[in-house]
A and B are shown apart, each in its own frame.
Chain A
């Protein structure tokens, strides 16, 4: 099996739920799918979808940089880019 699915969830410091679901191609070490969901707010809302699209096909390290690139471009309320990065990083600690 070359793909593995991960699902990480946290309750943010602002009391919201943030969930990041990832599908990782283990052979190529690439994220093939990412879904970020929860009861937070993102402005503009389209930016989150765009972020997900950009992460597809990238490694975890590349994905973290992409998330950093949204500083100042997407405002999150109830969650933060750090929260998203923390959950993406868990792919590494969980081990592929």
Chain B
């Protein structure tokens, strides 16, 4: 068994990137996941909101339109994030039978990212269950889900993003500012480059993430592409869900997507 590293991204089509994210997880849930998966990818210009969020509350929709940022809902909870090419996303999928999936995800799986950041010379810590902090500022937000013994964790690493765009694009709920001295997440984020005081390129981040998860899982990595089935499922999700306002902008339209999942299940059964 090795660590399957998928380096496949569609930075200029954030909808497909997020569709593929769910597709890989969904196929793992249906077909099993013999080898742990690590996917590393980027979006060029997108606001990605949590499953339970309202787009208009988290994102300045006018500004998004002005700068051509895609607004995409992901299938995991948590808060809104801004993705540009200075932000590196990673997803980890493992098959593990456990009575406490969330403890396993945040207590154990997330360490791969800590190892990665340590390899860069940082001293990272986990805070608020799912945030990664360097120099007491957040550099990585994560989200997770699980089903059928498949654990899924994904997160983003702020390496060299444009924080001015991030601040203009994402709204801060007033409550967050009023009630918390640390204020909202985006007022205490930092770039990994600033925290370390040096330039970091994408390949260096990929390298430490791969080595971090190799170390955590005690497996050798190999590089792979999404399978034909994963891509086919992603295409169905893309067309029927992730490219649609009903998913991205409206809340809780899940019943509207029953047909999409019926088609996917049919495809997986046939394959």
B interface, size bucket: 20 to 34
Chain A, residues 1-39, CB within 8 Å of chain B (1/0): the string is 000000001110011110100000000000000011111
Contact A39 B77 (CB under 8 A): yes
For the complex, is B226 an interface residue (Cβ under 8 Å from A)?
A: no
Chain A: CB-nearest residue to B101: A43
Chain A residues whose CB sits within 8 angstroms of the CB of B53 once the complex forms: 37-39
For the complex, is B175 an interface residue (Cβ under 8 Å from A)?
A: yes
> Distance in Å from the Cβ of A84 to the closest Cβ of chain B?
12
For the complex, is B254 an interface residue (Cβ under 8 Å from A)?
A: yes
> Distance in Å from the Cβ of A91 to the closest Cβ of chain B?
18
Contact of A17 among B75, B129, B147, B175 (CB under 8 A): B175
Contact of B254 among A11, A40, A49 (CB under 8 A): A49
Chain A, residues 43-73, CB within 8 Å of chain B (1/0): the string is 1111011001000000000000000000000
For the complex, is B102 an interface residue (Cβ under 8 Å from A)?
A: yes
> Distance in Å from the Cβ of B173 to the closest Cβ of chain A?
5
Residues B141-173 near A (CB distance < 8 A): 143-147, 173
Secondary structure of the B contact surface, majority rule? loop
For the complex, is B128 an interface residue (Cβ under 8 Å from A)?
A: yes
For the complex, is B80 an interface residue (Cβ under 8 Å from A)?
A: yes
Contact B180 A41 (CB under 8 A): no
How many residues of chain A have a CB within 8 Å of chain B? 26
**Distance A38 CA – B77 CA, assembled complex (angstroms):** 8
Chain B residues whose CB sits within 8 angstroms of the CB of A44 once the complex forms: 147
Tell whether A49 pairs with B252 under 8 Å between CB atoms, given A37-B53, A40-B52.
yes
Tell whether A41 pairs with B251 under 8 Å between CB atoms, given A9-B175, A15-B180, A17-B176.
no
For the complex, is B119 an interface residue (Cβ under 8 Å from A)?
A: no
Chain B, residues 129-145, CB within 8 Å of chain A (1/0): the string is 10000000000000111
For the complex, is B179 an interface residue (Cβ under 8 Å from A)?
A: yes
14 residue pairs of the A-B complex, CB under 8 angstroms, read: A11-B175, A14-B129, A15-B180, A19-B54, A19-B173, A35-B54, A37-B57, A38-B53, A41-B76, A41-B78, A43-B102, A45-B77, A49-B252, A77-B102
Task: State the B residues within 8 Å of A (CB).
Answer: 50-54, 57, 75-80, 102, 128-129, 143-147, 173, 175-176, 179-180, 251-252, 254
Task: State the A residues within 8 Å of B (CB).
Answer: 9-11, 14-17, 19, 35-46, 48-49, 52, 75, 77-78
